Amino acid sequence: MKLGAFSVSLSVKDLEKSKVFYEHLGFTHFGGQMDKNYLIMKNGESLVGLFQGMFEGNIMTFNPGWDQSAQAIEEYDDVRSIQNSLKEKDVALMNEVDDEGKGPGNFMLMDPDGNVILIDQHV
Protein backbone atom coordinates (compact mmCIF):
# COMPACT_ATOMS: atom_id res chain seq x y z
CA MET A 1 0.00 0.00 0.00
CA LYS A 2 1.48 3.35 -1.08
CA LEU A 3 0.30 6.02 1.36
CA GLY A 4 2.26 8.95 -0.07
CA ALA A 5 3.89 11.87 1.70
CA PHE A 6 3.92 11.72 5.49
CA SER A 7 3.54 14.61 7.90
CA VAL A 8 2.44 15.25 11.45
CA SER A 9 -0.44 17.67 11.92
CA LEU A 10 -0.19 19.38 15.30
CA SER A 11 -2.99 21.18 17.09
CA VAL A 12 -1.28 24.31 18.47
CA LYS A 13 -2.44 26.96 20.94
CA ASP A 14 -0.47 29.88 19.45
CA LEU A 15 0.42 29.61 15.76
CA GLU A 16 3.01 32.41 15.85
CA LYS A 17 4.85 30.93 18.86
CA SER A 18 4.81 27.48 17.26
CA LYS A 19 6.12 28.89 13.97
CA VAL A 20 9.05 30.54 15.73
CA PHE A 21 9.77 27.38 17.73
CA TYR A 22 9.93 25.17 14.62
CA GLU A 23 12.02 27.79 12.81
CA HIS A 24 14.53 27.44 15.66
CA LEU A 25 14.63 23.72 14.81
CA GLY A 26 15.50 24.56 11.19
CA PHE A 27 12.02 24.36 9.67
CA THR A 28 10.92 26.93 7.09
CA HIS A 29 7.46 27.99 5.95
CA PHE A 30 6.38 25.70 3.11
CA GLY A 31 2.63 26.23 2.83
CA GLY A 32 -0.49 27.51 4.52
CA GLN A 33 -1.28 31.01 5.79
CA MET A 34 -1.28 32.64 9.19
CA ASP A 35 -4.66 34.31 8.51
CA LYS A 36 -6.14 30.87 7.74
CA ASN A 37 -4.79 29.53 11.07
CA TYR A 38 -2.42 26.94 9.64
CA LEU A 39 1.14 26.64 8.39
CA ILE A 40 3.06 23.77 6.85
CA MET A 41 6.69 23.79 7.94
CA LYS A 42 9.47 21.83 6.22
CA ASN A 43 12.98 20.73 7.18
CA GLY A 44 14.56 18.53 4.52
CA GLU A 45 12.01 15.79 3.89
CA SER A 46 10.26 16.33 7.25
CA LEU A 47 6.88 18.08 7.28
CA VAL A 48 5.01 19.44 10.28
CA GLY A 49 1.60 21.04 9.93
CA LEU A 50 0.69 23.62 12.58
CA PHE A 51 -3.07 24.11 13.00
CA GLN A 52 -4.63 26.55 15.46
CA GLY A 53 -8.25 25.97 16.48
CA MET A 54 -9.02 23.47 13.71
CA PHE A 55 -9.05 20.16 15.58
CA GLU A 56 -8.12 18.64 18.93
CA GLY A 57 -5.15 16.38 19.36
CA ASN A 58 -2.47 15.57 16.82
CA ILE A 59 -2.91 13.66 13.58
CA MET A 60 -0.59 11.58 11.44
CA THR A 61 -1.26 12.54 7.82
CA PHE A 62 -0.53 10.67 4.60
CA ASN A 63 -1.07 12.23 1.17
CA PRO A 64 -1.48 9.66 -1.62
CA GLY A 65 -0.29 11.06 -4.94
CA TRP A 66 2.19 13.53 -3.43
CA ASP A 67 5.88 13.39 -2.66
CA GLN A 68 7.37 15.20 0.36
CA SER A 69 7.45 18.46 -1.65
CA ALA A 70 3.70 18.29 -2.42
CA GLN A 71 4.44 17.45 -6.05
CA ALA A 72 2.20 15.01 -7.85
CA ILE A 73 3.69 11.58 -8.48
CA GLU A 74 2.70 9.28 -11.32
CA GLU A 75 2.22 6.01 -9.49
CA TYR A 76 0.26 5.92 -6.25
CA ASP A 77 -2.62 4.08 -4.63
CA ASP A 78 -5.82 6.10 -4.85
CA VAL A 79 -7.43 7.01 -1.52
CA ARG A 80 -10.46 4.86 -2.44
CA SER A 81 -8.26 1.83 -3.10
CA ILE A 82 -6.54 2.31 0.26
CA GLN A 83 -9.91 2.66 1.99
CA ASN A 84 -11.28 -0.49 0.35
CA SER A 85 -8.17 -2.48 1.26
CA LEU A 86 -8.54 -1.46 4.91
CA LYS A 87 -12.26 -2.26 4.92
CA GLU A 88 -11.51 -5.73 3.52
CA LYS A 89 -9.23 -6.22 6.56
CA ASP A 90 -12.05 -5.10 8.89
CA VAL A 91 -10.21 -1.93 9.95
CA ALA A 92 -12.72 0.49 11.48
CA LEU A 93 -12.88 3.88 9.79
CA MET A 94 -13.95 7.13 11.45
CA ASN A 95 -15.38 8.43 8.16
CA GLU A 96 -15.23 7.35 4.53
CA VAL A 97 -14.54 8.84 1.13
CA ASP A 98 -17.16 8.25 -1.58
CA ASP A 99 -16.19 5.04 -3.42
CA GLU A 100 -17.74 6.36 -6.64
CA GLY A 101 -15.76 9.62 -6.72
CA LYS A 102 -12.46 10.48 -8.37
CA GLY A 103 -9.64 12.80 -7.50
CA PRO A 104 -9.31 14.48 -4.10
CA GLY A 105 -10.80 12.78 -1.06
CA ASN A 106 -9.98 11.73 2.47
CA PHE A 107 -10.89 9.44 5.31
CA MET A 108 -9.74 8.95 8.88
CA LEU A 109 -9.06 6.02 11.14
CA MET A 110 -7.69 5.48 14.62
CA ASP A 111 -4.93 3.11 15.65
CA PRO A 112 -5.38 0.82 18.69
CA ASP A 113 -3.90 3.49 20.99
CA GLY A 114 -6.24 6.26 19.88
CA ASN A 115 -3.86 7.99 17.46
CA VAL A 116 -5.76 9.52 14.56
CA ILE A 117 -4.55 8.92 11.00
CA LEU A 118 -5.75 11.04 8.07
CA ILE A 119 -5.43 9.71 4.53
CA ASP A 120 -5.83 12.92 2.52
CA GLN A 121 -5.49 12.85 -1.28
CA HIS A 122 -5.24 16.23 -3.05
CA VAL A 123 -4.84 15.04 -6.67
Question: What pLDDT score does 96 carry?
Answer: 97
73 CB neighbour count, 10 Å cutoff = 14
For 54-84, the pLDDT digits (tens) are: 999 999 999 999 999 999 999 999 999 999 9
In the predicted model, is pLDDT for residue 12 greater than 90?
A: yes
In 3D space, the residue among 60, 63, 49, 53 whose CA is nearest the CA of residue 110 turns out to be 60
Mean pLDDT, to the nearest integer, of 85-90? Answer: 98
Strands 59-63 and 116-121: parallel
Max distance between CA atoms of the chain, in angstroms, equals 45
Residue spans of the domains in the chain: they are 5-121
Query: Can you give the three-state secondary structure of the chain, one letter per residue?
Result: CCCCEEEEEEEECCHHHHHHHHHHCCCEEEEEEHHHCEEEEEECCEEEEEEECCCCCCEEEEECCECCCCCECCCCCCHHHHHHHHHHCCCCEEECCCCCCCCCEEEEEECCCCCEEEEEECC
Put simply, whether the predicted model's pTM sits higher than 0.85 gets the answer yes
Band (pLDDT 50/70/90 cuts) for residue 101 is: confident
In the predicted model, is pLDDT for residue 5 greater than 90?
A: yes
Percent of the chain with pLDDT over 70: 100
CATH class given for the domain over 5-121:
alpha beta
Question: What pLDDT score does 62 carry?
Answer: 97
